[in-house]
Amino acid sequence: MMSCFLGVEISRYRTMVSFKKIEVLNQLAFDLSLDVFGWPVVMFFRFVTSAEIRKRSEFFEPFIMGLANTTVEQFCKSSVEPMGEESDHVHIIAISDALGVAIRIVYLDRSSCDKGGVSVNHHDFIPTVSSSRSGAVEPFITLLYRPGHYDMLYPKRPS
């Protein structure tokens, strides 16, 4: 299957040659709206995460064995590097340490609210280099966790 650099399947457009131009353009616009421009960036960070896990395999191995009952190598190939795989605690520790950047994961918790409200909780991932220093480290990146997905949160700018 041939693909252009955007990841859009060329073969699909060859079958559409007989259709009107507008239909082809609409399909292309839809495919480009699927955020194919962000995929190479995500893939790059997946490989950075994989490299960190492999580099510090002794540290990560007990967590990986408990999660997937597999080797570090197999875990990286099946759960870290492929696109579309969910990231969890192990992935976030690895990327935080690899980049030397503190990350805050914010999540909504409905279980502790009696009247249907929602509480906001967070968990901070501080890189090993930063955690050895004295003093509090403020997370640089904040992500909102929704099942199967993370969204980046930006601080509100003063008006």
Cβ atoms of residues 96 and 53 within 8 Å: no
Structure token digits, residue 144: 């909102």
The pTM score is: 0.69
Cβ atoms of residues 102 and 96 within 8 Å: yes
| The domain over range 39-153 is classified in CATH as 3.40.50.11810 | no
User: What residues does each domain of the chain span?
Assistant: 39-153
Query: What is the distance between the alpha carbons of residues 110 and 120, in angstroms, rounded to a whole number?
Result: 9
63-120 pLDDT per residue, tens: 898 777 789 999 999 999 998 898 999 999 999 999 999 999 999 877 765 666 778 8
19-39 pLDDT per residue, tens: 455 666 666 666 655 566 677
